[in-house]
Amino acid sequence: MNSFFFLSTAAAAIGFFTFLRKFRFHQDNRENDSVSLSPSSLVPPSTSSHSWTHQVFPSFRGEDVRRDFLSHLHKEFQKKGITLFSDNEIKRGESISPELVQAIRSSKIAIILLSRNYASSSWCLDEQSEIIKCREEFGQTVMVVFNKVDPSDVKKLTGDFGSAFRKTCAGKTKEDTRRWTQSLAKVAKLAGYVSNNWDNEAVMIEKIASDVSNLLNNSTPSRDFDNLVGMVAHMEMMEPLLCLDSNEVRMIGIWGPSGIGKTIIARFLFNKFSDSFELSAFMENIKELMYTRQVCSDEYSAKLHLQNQFMSQIINHMDIEVPHLGVAENRLNDKKVLIVLDNIDQSMQLDAIAKETTWFGHGSRIIITTQDHKLLKAHGINHVYKVDFPSRQEACQIFCMSAFGQKIPQDKFEELALEVTKLLGNLPLGLRVMGSHFRGMSKHEWINAIPRLRTHLDSNLQSILKFSYDALGGDDKDLFLHIACIFNNKRIENVEEYLAHKLLYTKQRFHVLVEKSLISIEEGWIKMHNLLEQLGREIVRHDELGFIREPGKRQFLVDGRDICEVITDGTGSRSVIGIRFNSSELSGELNIGERAFEGMLNLKFLRIKCDQSDKLCLPQGLNNLSRKLRLLEWDHFPMTCLPSNFCTEYLVELNLQHNKLEKMWEGNMPLLNLKRMNLFHSKNLKELPDFSTATNLQTLILCGCSSLVELPYSIGSANNLRRLHLCRCTSLVELPTSIENLHKLQNVTLRGCSKLEVLPTNINLILSTKHKYKESEQIKLLLFPSSVGKAL
């Protein structure tokens, strides 16, 4: 029996090593285990097979255009990293040279700058004719600028433009004239930029540059998924479930345990197919969205909030207002949509966003990822893809991609990679985390690490993940715990400011955690997988001697029961530096005593999510908050004024949304370290604090402060203020003249300030409106007349 087992094992090993050798031999002719994504719908599909050498080719006439309009456009392009083809070294003649034809054909975008004398050049007419030919043959993107010329003159060949055209045609062949006439007619029909319609040429040039930049971004094929293992097999399994040729509306579930790769599969599908739908939205990690971004007082409010978030994303309307749950159905029932709802864990979430297939137009697809198969069944979703664990070969490839940056082990690491893969099991998350841990290690370091991995590993993924945590340095461990317990889903720049006093080289430490696959940074936001978050919270319950039985002696408090115990009994100690509490964990009310925080002298981060102001009660006030607070976040703060001994000396962020405050505090407080103040929907707030020392304040949010009549004159001292949001401050009458001192101010929102009639002059503001604008189309005013408030 033993010999048979040995022979079987040996045969399996030989077979797998044979696979590796074959894989290495054929790596130059790789199997299609990943799918390239087609470019955005902004560029026709045929462009994907065309070879582009240049980014933008300009067609223009005259040195005056080159020195004037084109030079300004070139400068704006340089700011945005756009390369404009230059023909300075090409000698011009009667017809365009083969070199120039090739430049046109190899440019992603062609811009035709039509001026009054453009048609006086046969060279230019040949250029625009060739550009239109390229557009029709292989989908080149063409943009037209009517620079001081009317589009109708181009179309009808009238005016100065028509006169120049007829002079050029004199003596030319009928074929040349016919070709130029036909191509100009097509150019005139293209949507373009008409300079006569713009009051400010600089603004128009900025708009052109922004549009070109977006076109270049959207026309670049994504390679984000090129190295994903097993994705072709997943697509083959999902193809009959998706049934994209069918006109029916279909909901598809992707089901499996946490860490198996459900979100990656869904994101792959979204990136591959979203261009084929009228509207699309990827609602990321809805479970986390429910628990961390908004706390609602009841189920209906939670549904309304979710639908608001969903509609905001799918129709790209950030300031949308959803008054009832019928909005999604009403707006989308005739639209073909692709929707991904990631990490659903409650039927209520589906009811809010995609309750019925009748909510969406023919051919729509709604993809739901979840760990709960029962939830899918309860919603009537019968098209379900169960994500299985990868095979041993695929598991090895996943591990090797993280450890070596390729799907096979490096030379002399084959046996070690196989052994580690076997020890880790087949959960993709564990394979990626541990692969990142081993990346860059020498063979000797691998050999030394594997015995410890062998002895410390059990069937629990937590042990696998903790192995990577244990390998971190002291400060890196500290940052990991801060993120797991307090700062997951926070902006990285904000967290760097919170921790500036504590950790040296914070950016470098974030980089270490990213390399180890312990966090990711997505568009500036910190993302930690929920399993890793759970690991971090479990770690803080222990020290070197074992489990810390008294919660008040732990570094972070995140468990609702522990927090209630510490606050009720007043057992918090100097060890506590951070608290993150969600009142939804409470079954009833919690009375917080005056001395609840008295022992927590080192408390720096206090985040309380509360769905209503009477859920957490402060019958005796709050007089013992730590003087070292750097972050205070408390939704529905119940007091009318912060305590007299509240210390702002080290405060970086104050976030008190939906509070009962009538004034912030008595007297003046030092605000030198304050970067952000968010008092959203402080309906009773009548008075703001003195901002004379708030010289580092960057963001001030006062939306919905309906009792606020004025801003203090001292706001002018906040000379680093960049964002000032005053939406729906319905009692606000005027802004102080000192606001003109805020030279770094970039964004001011005043929508709904119905009584605001007087604005200071000579201030650069951006007004938000209820209408949907692209970023480059936002209204920018350099000078306000005194009556501008009435026009709002």
Determine the length of the chain. Answer: 792
Those residues whose C-beta lies under 8 Å from the C-beta of residue 424, and which sit 6 or more positions away, are 395, 399, 430, 431, 434, 457, 464
* DSSP characters over 599-652: T-TT--EEEEE-SSTTTEE-TT------TT-SEEEETT---SS--TT---TT-S
Q: 420 and 447 in contact (C-beta within 8 Å)?
A: no
Rounded-to-10 torsion of CA 691, 694, 700, 703: -20
Of 139, 134, 145, which Cα lies nearest the Cα of 190?
145
Of 617, 631, 611, which Cα lies nearest the Cα of 485?
631
Cα 302 to Cα 286, 294, 348, 421, 580: the distances in Å are: 12, 8, 9, 42, 21
Q: 516 and 437 in contact (C-beta within 8 Å)?
A: yes
Is 685 strand, coil or helix?
Answer: coil
Report the alpha-carbon distance of residue 187 to residue 155 in Å, rounded.
8
Report the alpha-carbon distance of residue 408 to residue 399 in Å, rounded.
9
Catalytic residue among 127, 414, 497, 633: 127
Amino acid at 425: G
> What's the longest Cα–Cα distance across the chain?
100
489: which DSSP letter?
Answer: T
Amino acid at 488: N
Strands 765-767 and 107-114: unpaired
Place of tokens 């009667």: 94
Q: Is 687 a catalytic residue?
A: no
Q: 609 and 587 in contact (C-beta within 8 Å)?
A: no
Cα 394 to Cα 316, 461, 518: the distances in Å are: 38, 19, 22
CA atoms within 13 A on the CB side of 155: 9
**Buried b / exposed e across 521-539, counting CB within 10 Å, b at 16+?**
eeeeebebbebbbbbbbeb
Residues 419, 421, 426, 427: is their CA dihedral positive or negative? positive
CA atoms within 13 A on the CB side of 28: 1
Report the alpha-carbon distance of residue 415 to residue 16 in Å, rounded.
11
Query: Exposed, middle or buried: residue 713 (CB in 10 Å: 0-12, 13-18, 19+)?
Result: middle
Report the alpha-carbon distance of residue 645 to residue 628 in Å, rounded.
12
Residues 117, 118, 120, 123: is their CA dihedral positive or negative? positive
Q: Residue 113 forms beta bridges with which residues?
A: 145
Q: In what order do the strands lie in the sheet with 653-655?
A: 556-557, 578-582, 605-609, 631-634, 653-655, 676-678, 699-701, 723-725, 747-749
Question: Which H or E element spans position 367?
Answer: strand 365-370
Q: Residue 339 forms beta bridges with which residues?
A: 281, 366
- What's the angle, vertex CA 165, arms to CA 162 and CA 170, rounded to 5? 130
Rounded-to-10 torsion of CA 52, 53, 55, 59: -100
Of 792, 740, 791, 787, which Cα lies nearest the Cα of 762?
740
Active-site residue list: 127
